[in-house]
Chain A
């Protein structure tokens, strides 16, 4: 059972604002999807290890050397909403709510 407060909590964690209609719609849908997941609670997994990836690759590193990069900072910053020179302008962080 998912309550409206559960949905509000998860929306806050997700940095999403929901209207009243959306809130109720998502509440019902989340509840239904979680019912689908009841299937996974039935399987005995006590002695099973976790799989987070399938390649078996570990600690893939390259030599720590400076690479030639032809992309200019102007190009890299062209999608930034607000900038000053080559700086990204952000709202006040310290002391903001």
Chain B
């Protein structure tokens, strides 16, 4: 077995036993990137020299008996939305090309403190706007299972890097499905934690009331190991929750008698039949473990995607107002220092933002503008209450809710780029979760054949606020039964 194929927990165990060094592991991952990233295009930047230095330091700590914990010496990739001190951070957008953050995002700092080897920044849809990573201003990431297909998005670079073994684990962000959907389409474990569980400080904002940061990993236990390291209250993000961070990975156990909710709206027409077949197999597994399967209804599903596409662009238009060509980022002032103020705004923003960012800024400005605010934005905030209540009511009857992550497996590159509505609808099962703030995971549960290739299917496991342990336990139960270990041929 090649070292780059290891999971975090297996690598951590081998490091602890002295069977491998972090330097071996890091070299193996860097070699893997060199041999496959030309095809997959997961990375925007790779920190080879630094990673090797950090790996040596990790090994030294270990030999002195001063290791920082289970993540010490493990190579992890960061989505390019996350600020890393002295390393270009672009959100895959031209308007931030060349931007060098003077500080670390809290999540990057916490990973460093845990001894993680940060090996590079991964590609995403610019500003995380998208479901295919095709909206990156720099490159198109390919799905490692079929290089003609999209990896999902917006954290498509992180998802592709994990399944292609270009890292041992990765970090993504999720505003309406951006961790779960690419995890589903690439066949990895992607967790969207509870809103406020992980600090957003230093993570380039998309929609601040919806954004979360989470792990993208090869196994459920790895997901728990990363969440433990990055979760917790942060004085630099006043929306973080002051709740204890449990020892998720140690606590993981199989579930037996829990109540599992199956929302009829998630199994209706419109979802690929082969995808649903794979989802149903997981439900059968839980049934076989003695879990009670309960039919439920989430009536708000019909309009949840619409309210998401009102609230999210509204917050986007506000958050992206900071890119004005004056303080940092792309600026026409650099070439033309005598430009008038308004001209700096118009020309810097028009030249720096890509099509999707422009589309969302304008949509957001529209729903917030005088005369439309009540009909769209205020109404969407009211509907957000109904979505939240829908889940709260459901969780009086059940412990977890299961359904598909994506209505289809990975689609072809270019298939939906000219049709924003079709692209938006690929978030139909993931977008309702963020307005409610609750946690949800995509767990790989099977494959469907398309164009002669196996494409992964992800099961969505949804729990109430701070119910991450229930998600890990449920996912672990299914993972242990399925024992999927297929890897794409690259």
Contacts and interface: CB of A to CB of B under 8 A. Distances in A.
B193 to A, nearest CB: 13
A27 to B, nearest CB: 10
Main secondary structure of the interface of A (DSSP, over half): loop
Interface in B200-248: 209, 235, 238-239, 241
A5 to B, nearest CB: 13
Contacts of A42: 303
Contacts of B45: none
A13 B306 contact: no
B207 to A, nearest CB: 11
B310 A40 contact: yes
Nearest to B101: A79
B385 interface: yes
A53 to B, nearest CB: 5
A7 B369 CA distance: 12
Of residues B347, B362, B385, which shows the largest number of chain A Cβ atoms within 10 Å of its Cβ? B362
Is the interface on chain B under 10, 10 to 19, 20 to 34, or 35 or more residues? Answer: 35 or more
A80 to B, nearest CB: 6
A36 B309 contact: yes
Contacts of A18: 350, 358
Contacts of B386: 43, 45, 48
Contacts of A15: 321, 324, 342, 345-346, 349
Contact of B195 (A40, A54, A75, A97): A54
A96 interface: yes
Contact of B375 (A26, A39, A41): A41
A81 B436 CA distance: 40
A54 B388 contact: yes
B128 to A, nearest CB: 18
A33 B365 contact: no
A17 B329 contact: no
Interface in A4-31: 6-7, 9-11, 13-18, 22, 26, 29-30
A92 B339 CA distance: 9
Contacts of A17: 346-347, 350
Contacts, number: 167
Interface string B396-439: 00000000000000000000000011001000000000011100
A11 B349 CA distance: 11
B327 A80 contact: yes
B366 A10 contact: yes
A51 interface: yes
B376 interface: yes
B187 interface: no
B421 A55 contact: no
A16 B342 CA distance: 10
Contacts of A50: 378, 381-382, 384-385
Nearest to A70: B103
A1 interface: no
A79 B329 contact: yes
A38 to B, nearest CB: 8
Contact of B382 (A49, A60, A62): A49
Contacts of B324: 15
B329 A37 contact: no
Contact of A26 (B307, B317, B353, B358): B358
A86 interface: no
Given A45-B379, A55-B239, A91-B338, 7 more contacts: A6-B366, A10-B362, A15-B346, A37-B310, A54-B195, A55-B437, A80-B327
Interface of A: 6-7, 9-11, 13-18, 22, 26, 29-30, 32-34, 36-37, 39-43, 45, 48-55, 57, 60, 62, 71, 75-76, 78-82, 88-93, 96-97
28 contacts: A10-B365, A13-B365, A15-B342, A15-B345, A15-B346, A16-B349, A16-B358, A16-B361, A29-B420, A30-B363, A33-B363, A37-B306, A37-B310, A39-B303, A43-B386, A45-B382, A45-B386, A49-B385, A50-B382, A50-B384, A51-B382, A51-B388, A53-B209, A55-B196, A55-B437, A78-B102, A81-B328, A91-B338
